[in-house]
């Protein structure tokens, strides 16, 4: 079976987000009343697995091993069957 995993990797609260801060400053310069911007990254992963549980377990492992930095990142995983 094929599954699509949507993994959102974001900075833990309290960690500074230089890209978000730069974006905020640019938007303020364009006169938008923006108070805060935080940037995160989404990976849409098409993978093969025997079941949705196995897909979830594999994607958790990918996050720990490659996609997220445990010191500074949080992540959320959503998985569904690929059409």
Per CB under 8 A, residues contacting its own copies are 2, 8, 10, 20, 23, 26-27, 30, 32-49, 58, 61-62, 65-67
Secondary structure of residue 25 in the 3-state scheme: helix
For its own copies, which is the closer residue by CB, 30 or 71? 30
CB 29 to its own copies: min, Å:
10
Taking the C-alpha atoms of residue 72 and residue 11, their distance in angstroms, rounded to an integer, is 6
For its own copies, which is the closer residue by CB, 40 or 52? 40
CB burial of 26-53 (b: ≥16 within 10 Å; e: otherwise) equals eeeeeeeeeeebeeeeebebebebeeee
CB 27 to its own copies: min, Å:
6
CB 70 to its own copies: min, Å:
16
> Given the structure tokens 């897909």, which residue do they identify?
55
């Amino acid at each position: 079976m094929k599954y699509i995993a949507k993994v959102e990797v974001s900075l833990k609260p309290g960690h500074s987000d230089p890209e978000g801060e730069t974006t905020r400053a640019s938007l303020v310069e364009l006169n938008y009343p923006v108070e805060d911007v935080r940037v995160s990254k989404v990976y849409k992963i098409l993978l093969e697995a025997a079941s949705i549980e196995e897909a979830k377990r594999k994607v958790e492992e990918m996050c720990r091993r490659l996609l997220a930095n445990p010191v500074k990142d949080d992540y959320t995983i959503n998985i569904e069957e690929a059409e």
